[in-house]
Structure 1
């Protein structure tokens, strides 16, 4: 049996503008996704995906042909996405699965599917490892994105991620704040719906150059923060810059205007996790507001 594993991800800085070359601070999480592959004699790929509790949330039976993968009956979006990923991996490495009679494949998440920690990126990176292909190329051939999530899947430490001439550049960085016991990740009870923000962002592209330079500087401020107050200043500056760019209110303005600490959206605005500075009262504050998933920094970050 072959086994692969990829880390989940969180984007601390550079949302939106990472697509256009800004420096982004990203961190791999303790949560990720595994993939195990066992050979069979069935002439099929029997695929099942398990959630963090071990329950099957997706099953598919793909006919293993000489040069393509065919869903025998399922035409749902998840099956078609899986077929596309396997087909693109096969294009990148034509020897992928050559001579294979059949397979039982199991993927398993460490985190709830609605957390937004990279259920897709961890799957893509696992399939790329299995197929012996470049994970960034697999991502871009099958879908789109900056690729920072692939970098997190592959690295066990905080990184600065940047696209240069459409090529990924990953730099290990030291981001282990002494005040991390004052940092919390809060789930907003919904998956991100970033369409509105992306639409405004695309309209603003002609004005990007100064924004990118400012976000690069704020990313450096994050990394160099020596106190909680330093980080709070960086968070508030970053939130204001992106709010001006995408023409949306900050998450604090929208949901938590009475919160005493600083709050930062992570990734595209609209859902998933936020980063909050706080203290021993933070968990109760968010739970009283109906947000029950509050994870201390040390319990989330790899």
Structure 2
């Protein structure tokens, strides 16, 4: 018997980091995501194979049912396997039947984006496992990786969202973001994947002014979502960058890498890696290529 599942990737446009403390965040699901295919077998283990978008295998191993139920951790160079066992163990705690009543599984995951892009390798996996085992993906994320959960909301929605944690509970408002200037928006990969866990830990170590800033971030999020003109959109994006720069005590990505760029550039998600968004009247592809950044994707080629 074969079962297949799919989840969308994500890009966080506003509210990075402060979404963890209750700020409203604007996020967009991507045309890229991850498939999960489950075949039932009879050998009381899970044979797991993960494929990158180019068809290459980036992880393959066999996990015994007992390793999952007992959360066995291998201390010798197997962090991916340990992480997978951790996720599946928490899934087992939420729904033990897939092991207690299961005979075995052959599981295949397939990314439709390069896994180093940071579009949600983990969140799409967790949401797919949630679909497979009919458990709450937000709760599974909380028990395993942690984080705000906006990426799970993107995995489950095919349009833009405003995401907020209210008393630690996820709330999702669907928004239809389709302004006339989307042809002026480009997404640029910074040639390195940022570690979300490390970035969140650094944020929590420097969060003395967060509650004062959240109302302003909420206003900027609303302005960005509702902007009718590229001027209003760009101004709000620039103000958001400055606000987050002050909180994180880090230079904006434009200050750090693109001071001579004629337009606005915004970090997305974890500062210092993954994608940034540019807002400019002219196609910026040649500019970023000259700076050594080869992946420059127009809005309509990446956003669902």
Give the TM-score normalised by structure 1: 0.95
Q: Which residue of 2 aligns with 1:63?
A: 64
Measure how far apart 1:193 and its partner are: 4.9
2:39 aligned with 1:35: no
Q: Counterparts of 2:66 and 2:201 in 1: how far apart (Å)?
A: 41
SS of residue matched to 2:261:
coil
Structure 2 counterparts to residues 65-104 of structure 1, below 5 A: 65=66, 68=69, 75=76, 76-104=78-106
Q: Which residue of 1 aligns with 2:257?
A: 255
2:248 aligned with 1:246: yes
Q: Counterparts of 2:202 and 2:67 in 1: how far apart (Å)?
A: 45
Residues 105-140 of structure 1 deviation map (CA, whole Å, 9 limit, x = unaligned): 000000001100000000010111111110011011
Measure how far apart 1:192 and its partner are: 1.6
Q: Counterparts of 1:45 and 1:64 in 2: how far apart (Å)?
A: 7
Q: Counterparts of 2:43 and 2:201 in 1: how far apart (Å)?
A: 47
Question: 1:3–1:69: structure 2 CA closer, same or farther, 3 Å change rule?
Answer: farther
Q: Quick check: 2:32–2:112 contact (8 Å CA) kept in 1?
A: yes
Q: After TM superposition, what 4+ stretches of structure 1 lie above 4 angstroms from structure 2? A: 69-75, 193-200
Which stretch of structure 1 is more off in the superposition, 257-266 or 273-282? 273-282
Q: Quick check: 2:39–2:105 contact (8 Å CA) kept in 1?
A: yes
Measure how far apart 1:73 and its partner are: 7.6
Number of matched pairs: 302
Q: Quick check: 1:7–1:152 contact (8 Å CA) kept in 2?
A: yes
Q: Counterparts of 2:196 and 2:31 in 1: how far apart (Å)?
A: 25
Q: Which residue of 1 aligns with 2:210?
A: 208
Question: 1:284–1:143: structure 2 CA closer, same or farther, 3 Å change rule?
Answer: same
Q: Which runs of 5+ in 2 are unaligned?
A: none
Which stretch of structure 1 is more off in the superposition, 258-267 or 42-51? 42-51
Structure 2 counterparts to residues 55-204 of structure 1, below 5 A: 55-65=56-66, 68=69, 75=76, 76-193=78-195, 198=200, 201-204=203-206
Q: Quick check: 1:62–1:71 contact (8 Å CA) kept in 2?
A: no
Give the TM-score normalised by structure 2: 0.94
Residues 11-66 of structure 1 deviation map (CA, whole Å, 9 limit, x = unaligned): 00001100000000011000000000001122221100000011111001012349
